[in-house]
A and B are shown apart, each in its own frame.
Chain A
């Protein structure tokens, strides 16, 4: 075959009568095996005209798209990639229900586009054979035509179309070739009914199926479509059997067993008969239509694969790739996050300078702008992680990563496919949870989602830094290569993952019981990732995060702002604030000099003489700045009092008995409550509580010494190593991230799972913090 892509072959002649329905929108379902470029084709056909949602009660994504072609409007429904139409889970049932027009939100289906990998046609035709049994008008799209040609596979499209009785179109979706042919075939086929396909199963099967159909009606159940009755007979322990035997506990399961036994004794073995007849049909269909080279040519993907799955080099390359991904995130995404943070501060200041002090200004600056900033700050990480994940997925490496890591992950009851989502969660749980969409098994996916927030994300680091720097002695070993601080940070970073191991095991044994799902996975050919597809996917995930999770994060931030602002009167605070502003303008030159000197002092920390000189100058400046310092102190004292009297402060004092066993006073309690929407807030909140103002960071020595000098009413210091440990363990295990909870709700399509994650992690954090406090007290005290 010398032509790059052969033309469309229409299978049926065009009916004139079809034109009566010109204006009506037609609904066409798109189905195909995984790794056939189905999503690529969907995106290429519909472009920006698509909408994503969820089907009720399941985790399946509902993807709809529209296109207009030859004067007709077509609505495409993208179904999840699958190897067969035999539903074993609720999620798999969705595709069957949509195709049979039983999914109310989609309505009836006018036609099906079945997409197949031209370089792997034999296995892909198994699904096609099942789809044809539905009796709907169908188009077969042979995608990756170029790959098939490079592997010297020859397919006679004209003959294939004639034998199948449906249009067959060759296409290269990732290069956007022959898309109009696909559109024309869809439009054409959706206007006319299709002639029924010959029955592949032996007549004894047909008889049993008719009999069972009648028996189900006798049991008082509405009549099932013929295809579902066949599925019920064939899928031993499948979703239909589970649903129907639950609805009709009397009689259905005996009748089903009897029917299967009769079939078995008639030589029609259930379930193997299906694979036998369908693959037999495929073999017959392809004989004389497709020729493959006797010896498969060794391609570059074979050579590459030998290295990438090699005993030693495979793991080396894998580690290097993972390391590079995380290195890139920290060198590119983190500075960008800083930019967002600074931007948020600057916008806050700009808005602040335009408005007089008061509740409105505080709401805008401390509530709305801080809330929006809290959402945007995650964007760089989400975009970068998804860029890498999409690249690895699109080029075919992701399946190899799962292949390499599977053995390791089975130790905790998961599969290799959970590795990358969990690894990503070390940067941020949000993209990690979104990345679980590649896990087919619902149980594995749910367990992965539930434990992903335990991986130590980057927002936990500030808390660890602050506590370790303030309360652990700067001991070092091995000539300074190993420090206690470094060791503690390392331990805390992996603490959550360590706790996740028994939890994953526990969830698998209790909430998600059942047989281990098979790890039957195709290892697709390597290919160059398509920039368009990769960018589209990144955009998809990022926008869905901002729109869906964003609104709720904003609401939570405003709620916390409200609780910390009211009911006190802020009049005095605002008056002092105005004075501070005036004083700052007045002392502007001194303040500038102070900042400059502090910078110089840090640079010349080695030269004692210079430092002493600078210190003297700084002292002098301090004296000049006394009026400002006085005002700041005053403001901080009032802020502290206001916070103490606010709803949040009252709540903190109310819960003090509950946090006392953890070694905390009510101030830490308030800090922890305030940081439930976003854990990184704790450092700023502690700053406010300890009268330093909200603008501190974890390296602020002022905050460190304030923490060290905080005391209980009887004079004992509040903070000690056990308290620091208890706080760190609490932050390591607690679900203090509204965004993560929103994403869990979105991905599981249920509030219950977000609530469950929140409850189990908070309980775990409380118990963990208590244990940490008690154990460390025993060791240190």
Chain B
């Protein structure tokens, strides 16, 4: 599954960021690397973007960006 499918408060482990373009690079630079834990804090009032917590800080991603991050929900 991908990062946009998480529910509020749910935690998951990142498997991979898809693609090799500028957006993928930016996501990885912000610390979304494989094996890292990430949790969904909440949605903006209009449903997009989404607030996450990773590596101890808060990050806002649009749904289209979150969709590019494959995650694994099991074991967390």
Contacts and interface: CB of A to CB of B under 8 A. Distances in A.
Nearest to B57: A120
A518 B27 contact: yes
16 contacts: A88-B25, A270-B20, A272-B24, A274-B28, A309-B45, A403-B44, A406-B46, A407-B44, A407-B47, A516-B64, A518-B22, A518-B26, A520-B23, A520-B26, A522-B58, A524-B58
Given A122-B55, A123-B57, A271-B28, A312 B34 contact: no
B56 A520 contact: no
Which 8 residue pairs spanning A and B have beta carbons closest together?
A275-B28, A407-B46, A523-B58, A518-B23, A84-B29, A521-B60, A122-B55, A120-B57
Nearest to A151: B56
A271 B24 contact: yes
B31 A520 contact: no
B9 to A, nearest CB: 12
A404 B51 CA distance: 11
B26 to A, nearest CB: 5
A407 B55 CA distance: 26
B45 A519 contact: no
Contacts of A237: 21-22
A296 interface: yes
A149 B5 CA distance: 34
B2 to A, nearest CB: 16
Interface of B: 17, 20-31, 33-34, 36, 42-49, 51, 55-62, 64-65
B44 A521 contact: no
Interface residues of A, number: 48
A523 B33 contact: no
A404 B56 contact: no
Contact of B31 (A119, A122, A235, A399): A122
A276 interface: yes
A279 B31 CA distance: 7
A309 to B, nearest CB: 6
A83 B32 CA distance: 13
A578 interface: no
Contacts of A276: 33-34
A310 interface: yes
A524 B59 CA distance: 9
A314 interface: yes
A309 B42 contact: yes
Interface in A499-544: 515-524
B65 A519 contact: yes
A28 B62 CA distance: 37
A236 B25 contact: yes
Nearest to B49: A406
Contacts of B22: 88, 237-238, 515, 517-518
B48 A407 contact: yes
A274 B26 CA distance: 11
Contact of A126 (B31, B48, B51): B31
B45 A315 contact: yes
Contacts of B43: 311
A740 interface: no
A457 B38 CA distance: 44
Contacts of B48: 406-407, 410
Contacts of B21: 236-237, 515
Contacts of B33: 272, 275-276, 279
Contacts of A126: 29, 31
Contacts of A270: 20
Contacts of B23: 515, 518, 520
Contact of A292 (B30, B56, B65): B56
A557 interface: no
Interface in A677-722: none
Interface in A37-95: 83-84, 86, 88
B56 A122 contact: yes
A360 interface: no
A689 to B, nearest CB: 49
A516 B42 CA distance: 23
Contact of A271 (B25, B44, B51): B25
Given A237-B22, A292-B56, A309-B51, A406 B29 contact: no
B25 A235 contact: yes
A408 interface: yes
Contacts of B51: 309, 403, 523
Contacts of A305: 58
Interface string A436-472: 0000000000000000000000000000000000000
Interface string A309-322: 11110110000000
Interface string A120-141: 1011001000000000000000
B24 A520 contact: no
B56 A519 contact: no
Nearest to A521: B60
Contact of B28 (A120, A272, A314, A404): A272
A520 B65 contact: yes
Contacts of B56: 119-120, 122-123, 292, 296
Nearest to A313: B45
A306 B9 CA distance: 12
Interface string A558-587: 000000000000000000000000000000
A275 B54 CA distance: 15
B49 A403 contact: yes
Contacts of A119: 56
A524 B45 CA distance: 19
A515 B48 CA distance: 19
Nearest to B23: A518
A306 B8 CA distance: 12
Contacts of A88: 22, 25
Contacts of B61: 519-520
Most buried by A among B31, B44, B46, B48: B44
A406 B62 contact: yes
A292 B36 CA distance: 16
B43 to A, nearest CB: 8
Contacts of A408: 46
A733 B13 CA distance: 51
Given A515-B21, A519-B61, A123 B44 contact: no
B25 A86 contact: yes
